[in-house]
Amino acid sequence: MGDRAEILFSSALDKRGIPWRYANKEEQIQKHIDFHTDRGTVDVKSMKRINRVDYNPQQDFVWLEFQNVKGNTGWLCSKVDYIAFERPNDFVIVDRQRLLELAKSLCDLTSITRQGGIKALYRGYQRWGNKDIISMIKMSDVLTLPFKSLLK
């Protein structure tokens, strides 16, 4: 899903004449950067399912990664400039630092659950056998931040 979203994002940048280049593998893995643009670095997030057993991705909720599966810095706490969330017809692009501040105000990471899906809404979620800490918020929360919409 991520590769498809990145291809769609690059096409949307091209349509608007926004200069860009792909990040190299090290930048992608270590720094969570997918694209370098003349406006800053971007990490693209495809639409996700709420539960692993769900068939289709959805646009009403977004997963946030505070800490990755190895226990290292998650993309939300990285140094990337912008996060681009995929929706069916566009990408919602927000400042990562503002998103982090919003997430910290909404999510109770002291209340960790091992049950995913909707139980992770505004709570920390840690998957069995992993050191990750993720949470879920509503897309409507993201849209309270200043954002740009980039049509597909």
Q: Which residues contact 138 (CB under 8 A, 6 or more apart)?
A: 60, 61, 62, 121
For 2-151, CATH number out of 3.30.70, 3.40.1350, 3.30.2130, 3.40.50 equals 3.40.1350
Torsion, CA 51, CA 132, CA 114, CA 106, rounded to 10: -80
Is it the case that residue 75 has pLDDT exceeding 60?
Answer: yes
- The band of 54, judged by pLDDT with boundaries at 50, 70 and 90, is confident
What is the model's pLDDT at position 55? 75
- Span 88-137, pLDDT tens digits: 999 999 999 999 999 999 999 998 999 888 999 999 999 989 999 999 99
Burial of 3 (0-12, 13-18, 19+ CB in 10 A): exposed
Q: Where are the domains of the chain?
A: 2-151
Residue 103, token pair as written in the block: 């997430």
Residue 151 contacts residue 16 (beta carbons within 8 Å): no
**CA triple 10-45-16, angle to 5 deg:** 25
Is it the case that residue 1 has pLDDT exceeding 60?
Answer: no
Q: Which residues contact 27 (CB under 8 A, 6 or more apart)?
A: 33
Percent of the chain with pLDDT over 90: 88
- Span 7-47, pLDDT tens digits: 999 999 999 999 999 999 999 999 999 999 999 999 999 99
